[in-house]
Each structure stands twice: as structure tokens, then as C-alpha cells.
């Protein structure tokens, strides 16, 4: 399994200049290749005898002309232009597969980065060796053990980071302490509720940071375009954005660590994040909670310990089923936090009840999966159309005809 550890770098001034130049070279090569791709594509439309553009051919072309036309490229690692063009090829592949938009030109100052293959750099303790530059200090040591696959060096809000990808297939972690199952209901008012009744609040720091964010973005909008003060305000805002992202990521890691360390089987909802982000009002809140990121973390961390994450069907009525007797409510208003079951009279907390249903779903679907090809009723089915109805009340999930 591939995991990445992003480590802050402490370059001196000379090194920071090199990193900026390498990122600039990568950007130039990417844009050059995109431009060349479009030109070749137009050319082969008029003359079908010409070859279609490809990233491999573009890399060869750049290699043959760079010594003459772009001699400054030789000052930085040759990985910078080469891998940038390979990334362009990947971007086109994603575009043709319908996974992404048509590749766009890279802009200076936005996502400045370059990548390195594992034969070109070395990591020792708290240093990383970058070709044609030497050792650069890192703020911490690499957390994962395993084969190092690649690295990418990027500038985020004025700071440099190395994101080092490691293949951890050989390393093993102890299995979960409790071999049991747990259900998790993700929400917005609280980060998540477990079937055990535990509720995880989101990080409190986030709210203060968001207030500051609003103030800073207002301040930025009042600054004169092109002025020095505007540049300063812009960097300040970018730093705050980066800090918010860090706080958020950290809270999700704590949550996913806690759950995967304790439970073997984890039942969660399958949230239609793309559909939900279409809702402007909720977009921030949902992006904040990072549902997708949480699911990603749970999946790889569970896999480390031999555990598993079971996704519920998008139509699984987790909040409308009574976890005690299975009574299925027709409707449940969005602001109802507690309800009494007409079937058995038990009093259900909305989030805990949903989490218990998700745990039961996970248990039953793993039990039937052992019996052969069959999967539980509530298990994810791939061929369904996207849901159209959404439920929002501080807690977001998709609901279909349930
Ligand atoms: Zn009931």
C-alpha cells in the first residue's frame, strides 16, 4: 500500500531559490508540453498521417531541444521537467477517462511543485538529498518504513514541503484491539458518532480560525490590486488556509486512528460527496468535515491492521430504521434529534441509532460475504443512478426512496 508523509522543509536561502527554480522549470515544461500537445493535436486533425501527441514523445522532443533552447533547465534536476510532462500525460488520461477536466496551464504561485523519482533522492534521518542541491533539513523524520517510491516538493503558503511516498506493503501493524464491529455516523454538528454512543466533536480551534479567515479575506478585498500590502495580506490568508487544513487533517487522523486501533470491522455510510458539494450553502461545512478524506484514512488504516471498512448502500435508511426492532419510519424530519419508535417504544438518539444500524449492516454483510459471492442487502451496489434527494439538518447524508 502506498502512503505519503508530508514533511516541512527548512531550506536556507540558497536552497529555497533552487527549489523555486526547480518548481518553475516543472511548470515551464508542463505548459510547454500542453501547448505542444494542442498544436500536434490540431496538426493531426488536418493531416491524419501525423502521429497523435503522447507524453513519451513530448519528453523525447524536449530532451532533444533543451540543451539549445532552454539551457537553464540543466541547472536543476532533470526529474523536474520530465515528471511534469508525465503528469500531463496522466492528466490527459484522466480527462479521456472522464475523471477530470481538460488539463489547464499551470500558473506561477499556484501549486508550485516538482517531483522526484526514488533513484534521484535519499532520505537520512532529518535530511533529504535533492540532486544538484545537496542535503536539505526536514522538520521531522520519515514516519513510515518501507520502500520509498517517490517524492514531490511543493510550496504551500510560502513554506516548502516534501511529500514522500512509501510502499508499506511489507510493514505490519498489530491487529485491532477489539475484534468487533463498529458503526460510524458522520455529521456536521459533531464530527462523528459511534454505535458505542461515543461522539467525536470537531476541533474547536477550527471555529476561531474560520472567524479569522472571514476577517482576513475581507481585509484582502479592500487592498489595492498590485500593491505591496495586498501581497502581504494574500500570504497571510494563504498561511491561515494552510493552518486550517492542517488542523482539520489532524482531527481526522486522530479519529481514524482511534477507530481502526480499536475495531476490526467499520460500517460507514456511502456519502455522495460530489452531489453534496453542488449545494452552495453546505459546501463549506462538508468540505470542512472532509468526509472523503476520513473514509480514505479509515480504509488504508484498517487495511494495515487486517481490518475492513464496509460501505452502506446509498439508499440504506440508516437514520429511519429502529435499531432495536427494525421498524422503518416513513419520514424523519431533519431537525429531529430524538424519536420514539412506534413499533417497540424505544427512544432513539438520531445519530447513535444510525450508527448502530450501520454496525449491524457491516456485521450482516461480512457474515454473508463469508458464505460466498452473496453480499448483504444493504451492501453498496454499483449500478444505481445517482441519488437526487438529500437530507440536511446539521447532518448530511443522501436518502433515496427509503
Ligand atoms: Zn423499534
DSSP string, 49-97: TSPPP-HHHHHHHHHHHHHHH-GGGGGS-THHHHHHHHHHHHHHHHHHT
Q: Which of 217, 256, 268, 259 is nearest to 240 (CA)?
A: 217
**Sign of the dihedral through C-alpha 45, 48, 54, 60:** negative
| 398 φ, ψ (degrees, to nearest 5) | -90, 145
Look up residue 175 and give its DSSP letter. P
Helix (H, G, I), strand (E, B) or coil at 177: coil
CA distance 211 to 219: 13
Does 269 qualify as catalytic in the annotation? yes
Long-range contacts of 36-40 (CB under 8 A, 24+ apart): 36/61, 37/88, 37/92
Does 351 qualify as catalytic in the annotation? yes
pLDDT score, position 314: 80
Look up residue 325 and give its DSSP letter. T
The beta strand positions in 93-139, using DSSP E, are: 113-117, 122-124, 127-130, 134-138
How far, in Å, from the CA of 106 to the mean position of ligand 1?
Answer: 56
Q: Which one is catalytic: 55, 112, 185, 313? A: 185
Say if residues 112 and 154 touch (Cβ distance below 8 Å). yes
Q: How is residue 256 written as a grid cell?
A: 481514524
- What is the helix (H) or strand (E) element at residue 222, kind and residue range? helix 205-222
CA distance 392 to 394: 6
| Pairing verdict, β 263-268 and 308-311 | parallel
pLDDT score, position 286: 54
CA distance 388 to 247: 32
- What is the helix (H) or strand (E) element at residue 281, kind and residue range? helix 280-289
Would the pTM of this model clear 0.75, i.e. be above it?
no
Q: Which one is catalytic: 55, 299, 313, 351? A: 351
How far, in Å, from the CA of 318 to the mean position of ligand 1?
Answer: 13
How far, in Å, from the CA of 349 to the mean position of ligand 1?
Answer: 12
Q: How is residue 306 written as a grid cell?
A: 487486517
Does 185 qualify as catalytic in the annotation? yes
CA distance 198 to 275: 28
How far, in Å, from the CA of 347 to the mean position of ligand 1?
Answer: 8
How far, in Å, from the CA of 330 to the mean position of ligand 1?
Answer: 13
CA distance 73 to 21: 9
Composition of the chain by helix, strand, coil, percent to 5? 45, 20, 35
pLDDT score, position 109: 87
How far, in Å, from the CA of 122 to the mean position of ligand 1?
Answer: 60
Q: Which one is catalytic: 55, 269, 299, 313? A: 269
Look up residue 223 and give its DSSP letter. S
Which residue matches cell numbers 448502530? Answer: 356
| Helices and strands (DSSP H and E) totals, the chain | 9, 16
N-term to C-term CA, the chain: 36
Q: What is the pLDDT along the chain (402 residues), one digit of tens a residue?
A: 788 999 999 999 999 999 999 999 999 999 999 999 999 999 999 998 888 999 999 999 999 999 999 999 999 999 999 999 999 999 999 999 998 999 999 999 888 999 999 999 999 999 999 999 999 999 999 988 889 999 999 999 889 999 999 998 766 677 777 778 999 988 766 778 999 999 888 777 777 888 888 888 898 989 988 889 998 998 899 898 888 888 888 888 999 999 999 999 999 988 765 555 555 555 555 555 677 888 889 998 998 888 899 999 888 888 899 999 989 998 887 778 899 999 899 999 988 999 999 999 999 988 765 544 434 444 444 333 333 333 333 333 333 332
Look up residue 191 and give its DSSP letter. S
pLDDT score, position 169: 76
Q: Which of 271, 321, 324 is nearest to 298 (CA)?
A: 271
CA distance 99 to 290: 20
Amino acid at each position: 500500500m502506498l502512503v505519503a508523509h508530508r514533511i516541512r522543509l527548512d531550506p536556507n536561502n540558497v536552497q529555497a531559490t533552487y527549489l523555486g527554480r526547480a518548481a518553475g522549470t516543472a511548470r515551464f515544461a508542463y505548459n510547454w508540453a500542453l501547448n505542444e500537445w494542442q498544436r500536434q493535436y490540431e496538426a493531426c486533425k488536418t493531416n491524419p498521417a501525423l502521429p497523435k501527441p503522447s507524453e513519451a514523445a513530448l519528453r523525447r522532443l524536449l530532451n532533444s531541444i533543451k540543451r539549445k533552447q532552454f539551457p537553464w533547465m540543466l541547472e536543476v534536476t532533470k526529474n523536474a521537467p520530465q515528471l511534469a510532462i508525465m503528469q500531463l500525460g496522466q492528466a490527459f488520461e484522466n480527462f479521456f477517462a472522464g475523471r477530470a477536466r481538460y488539463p489547464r496551464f499551470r500558473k506561477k504561485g499556484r501549486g508550485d511543485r516538482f517531483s522526484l523519482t526514488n533513484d534521484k533522492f535519499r532520505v537520512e534521518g532529518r535530511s533529504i538529498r535533492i540532486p544538484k542541491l545537496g542535503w536539505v533539513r526536514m522538520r521531522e523524520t520519515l514516519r513510515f518504513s518501507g520502500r520509498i517510491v517517490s517524492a514531490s516538493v511543493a510550496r504551500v503558503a510560502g513554506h516548502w514541503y516534501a511529500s514522500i511516498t512509501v510502499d508499506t506493503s511489507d510493514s505490519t501493524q498489530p491487529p485491532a484491539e477489539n475484534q468487533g464491529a463498529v458503526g460510524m455516523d458522520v455529521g456536521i454538528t459533531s464530527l462523528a458518532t459511534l454505535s458505542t454512543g461515543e461522539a467525536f466533536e470537531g476541533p474547536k480551534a477550527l471555529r476561531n480560525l474560520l472567524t479569522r479567515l472571514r476577517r482576513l479575506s475581507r481585509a484582502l478585498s479592500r487592498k489595492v490590486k498590485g500593491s505591496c500590502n495586498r501581497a502581504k495580506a494574500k500570504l497571510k490568508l494563504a498561511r491561515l488556509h494552510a493552518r486550517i487544513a492542517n488542523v482539520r487533517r489532524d482531527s481526522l487522523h486522530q479519529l481514524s486512528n482511534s477507530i481502526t486501533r480499536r475495531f476490526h470491522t467499520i460500517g460507514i455510510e456511502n456519502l455522495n460527496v460530489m452531489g453534496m458539494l453542488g449545494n452552495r450553502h453546505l459546501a463549506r461545512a462538508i468540505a470542512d468535515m472532509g468526509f472523503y478524506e476520513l473514509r480514505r484514512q479509515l480504509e488504508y488504516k484498517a487495511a494495515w491492521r487486517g481490518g475492513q471498512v464496509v460501505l452502506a448502500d446509498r439508499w440504506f435508511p440508516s437514520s429511519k430504521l429502529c435499531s432495536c426492532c427494525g421498524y422503518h419510519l416513513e419520514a424523519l424530519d431533519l431537525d429531529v434529534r430524538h424519536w420514539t419508535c412506534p413499533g417497540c417504544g424505544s427512544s432513539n438518539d438520531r445519530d447513535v441509532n444510525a450508527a448502530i444500524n450501520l454496525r449491524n449492516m457491516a456485521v450482516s454483510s461480512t457474515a454473508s460475504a463469508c458464505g460466498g459471492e452473496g453480499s448483504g442487502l444493504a451492501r453498496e451496489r454499483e449500478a444505481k443512478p445517482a441519488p437526487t434527494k438529500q437530507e440536511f439538518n446539521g447532518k448530511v447524508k443522501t436518502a433515496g426512496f427509503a
